[in-house]
Amino acid sequence: MKKLFAGALIALSINSLAQSKSATLSGKLIKSAGDSLVLDAGDHHPIKIAVDKNGAFKSTFKLDSGAYYAFTTGVLYLAPGMDLTINKPDTALVFAGKGSIENTIMRQINGSIKWHVPFGQAALFEKMVDTPPSDFLKEMDAYKADATKLLTDNKGLSPYFVKTQKQNIDYIIRWATDTYKTRYGKDPLVEKQQRELIRTFTTVEAMNASRNKLMELVGKMYAKRMEPKDHLMINKLAWADFDINNADLFKLSGNYRYMLDRKIAEMVSAEKMKTSYASNKSADEMTFDVTLKEISNPYIKQRLTFPTMRLLLRPSRDSVDAIYSKFMAMATDQYYKTQVETLYKSIKLYGKGGQTPLFVFDDVNNKPIALKDILKGNYVYIDIWATWCGPCIAEIPSLKKMEEKYHDKPIKFVSISIDADKDKEKWKSFVKDKQLGGIQVYAGRNSDFVTKYNVPFIPRFILLDPNGKIVSEDAERPSNPKLQEQLDKLLN
């Protein structure tokens, strides 16, 4: 009997241990109906939870310790033993069950700052920020006291959660302080005029023609200036003892990531003052080098340098081999190493003189269009764009002029849309409404063709010869006179 009891006790202990190493998440999110819910802890292994046609979901998964996950439009905290329910009956998330206290507290900490600062999102461009520094700092003290009280009044919170949320509070205050300093004295009416003027820039020529007016508005932007001593004091509060290597905060706090980006930009600006360094370095390459030098935390260093690598890995860049070697020597995360290695091999394969990958994409009438058929006897100028891309739209008038000028020459103009799948019909309507010429096809965001050419930003232009050889994998824009010079030389 004793042996049986002991065996049952051991089994119970093992079961309890297994339960303590897992968490259950369930609920209902109507907007995610029929899709999947993704929890991303930044470790390249996002948790995908199936959502039924009614928006309901439930999943239990292993969890060794408390962690923060990117979740819909915010952050979710999960820890072993939690049984958390999330529902969204209207606009706000509602938490219930074990873990609801932590997540409710976190949302209150993140959201309550708007009651203490004079520049909430809705009023950002409606009222000039001119609160005296002394009054602003009192509000920051009040916010810190209220937010900290949420942590101290709720007993039983884990030390990790309390520690990271106190850090979160600190960086929310830092963000608010830096934003206050930046926005102080800006005339919202002038700022509105500037934004409206910029929206009228549908071509590079239009922007150049309005340059004087734009500079005039910039000069009139600040109706009030903070006293220098107050400016220095506020700046010191925002940046004193700033920790650029806090991986936990990097995962948790968007405010921290924003401030870190600002800090790195500041360090890059300091490097720009060293003319010998800046003379042969692009802004992206300087950012890459500064990040490698200044950031010591491997997680943050790799998270920050990887997106920059996508911008730097271009066949036209003389230093691409050296940059690639620097990254691979630094990287320890196999995910990033594999991604960068794939990009590097791709640009070596699809650079100038290489053979282009082919594609078959649908046009606005859902008719398949093959690149191999377009190439027959023709040069091909490819424009990779999207309806949401302002600079892409700005190039359309110049592209139309190029199509008209060379309509009887052996060159075809192909525009490839990478709009999201949900916007495919919007793309079709745009093409028809704007009477876009050339060959218009839809690729979507993740086509193999676009991936092989490594297109981290748009617009992107590619020039091919009639044999499919790459003349330029990063061709000049239609608005640049150099493109016409190049085409004239090729076609004549």
CA dihedral 180, 182, 187, 188 (to 10 degrees): -70
Sorted by where each starts, the structural domains of the chain and their CATH numbers stand as 20-98 (2.60.40), 103-186+222-240 (no CATH), 244-349 (no CATH), 360-491 (3.40.30.10)
Question: Which pair of structure tokens corresponds to residue 87?
Answer: 């529902």
Report the C-alpha gap between 82 and 1 in whole angstroms: 35
Do 71 and 12 touch, CB atoms closer than 8 A?
Answer: no
Q: What are phi and psi of 79, to 5 degrees?
A: -145, 155
* CA nearest neighbour of 436 among 381, 408, 398: 398
The distance of Cα 450 from the centroid of its chain, to the nearest Å, equals 18
Residue 26, token pair as written in the block: 């369930």
* Integer Cα distance of 2 and 130 in angstroms: 76
Which residues does 318 contact at the CB level (< 8 Å), separation at least 6? Answer: none
Burial of 271 by CB count in 10 Å (0-12 exposed, 13-18 middle, 19+ buried)? middle
In tens, the pLDDT along 181-228 reads: 988 988 888 888 887 877 766 556 666 777 788 888 888 888 889 999
Tens digit of each residue's pLDDT, the chain (492 residues): 434 334 333 333 333 334 458 899 998 876 655 577 888 887 777 888 888 888 888 999 888 888 898 877 678 999 999 999 998 766 678 899 999 999 999 999 998 998 888 765 545 556 788 889 999 999 999 999 999 999 999 988 999 999 999 999 999 999 999 989 988 988 888 888 887 877 766 556 666 777 788 888 888 888 889 999 999 999 999 999 999 999 888 888 888 999 999 999 989 888 877 765 555 677 888 899 999 999 999 999 999 999 888 888 877 666 788 889 999 999 999 999 998 998 888 888 888 888 998 999 999 999 999 999 999 999 999 999 999 888 898 899 899 999 999 999 999 999 999 998 888 999 999 999 888 989 999 998 778 888 888 887 889 999 999 999 999 888 999 988 899 999 999 887
